[in-house]
Amino acid sequence: MPSVQLFFLCSALVILPLAWMKGGHAERAAVALLVAAYVSGPFLQDIRVGRVLVVLALGDVIVWAVFVWLSLKHDRWWLLLATAAQSLNVLSHVALVLTPSLTARENVAAQWVFGLVSLYALLLGIAERRLAGERPAAPPLDRRSIAQS
């Protein structure tokens, strides 16, 4: 596994659960969206038109559209950064069509970078929420709450 891919995976394994536990509704929606995109990604890589993985590109467009919707619905600055990164991710699929000299490796590297920007924007959003003293969407489970039920 390339080191960039390992870094992406480790980042996702740390940031996504943290965002779920410490985030608000926007952060939790983003976590659910990103987990769905990451899990479905390998299954979407079969259909190609030329050099473009069409269904994967369509999945990225759906992720972009949901980030746009979240940006309009919630007053969170990090959503704007994540939406911009996802916009560049979608444009990387377009660049593959428009630039014949662009290799698949360069395209995937660009998508990883834009994905990392989205992940770390989410992490910064959680940090800002915590610094502002805002509470998570729901308190995390602890042993006392489990024992009481």
Contact 38, 118 (CB under 8 A): no
CA atoms of 138 and 23, how far apart (whole Å): 9
For residue 121, being part of any structural domain is answered with yes
pLDDT, tens digit (0-9, with 9 covering 90-100), for 123-141: 999 998 888 888 777 665 5
* Structural domains of the chain, count: 1
In tens, the pLDDT along 48-74 reads 777 778 888 898 999 999 999 999 999
Please give the Cα distance from 36 to 32 (Å, whole number): 6
pLDDT tens for residues 70-108? 999 998 899 999 999 999 999 998 998 888 888 888 888
Range of the domain at 93: 3-133
- Is 37 contained in some domain? yes
Residue 62 CB burial class (10 angstroms; 0-12, 13-18, ≥19) = middle
The C-alpha angle 56, 57, 62, rounded to 5 degrees, equals: 95
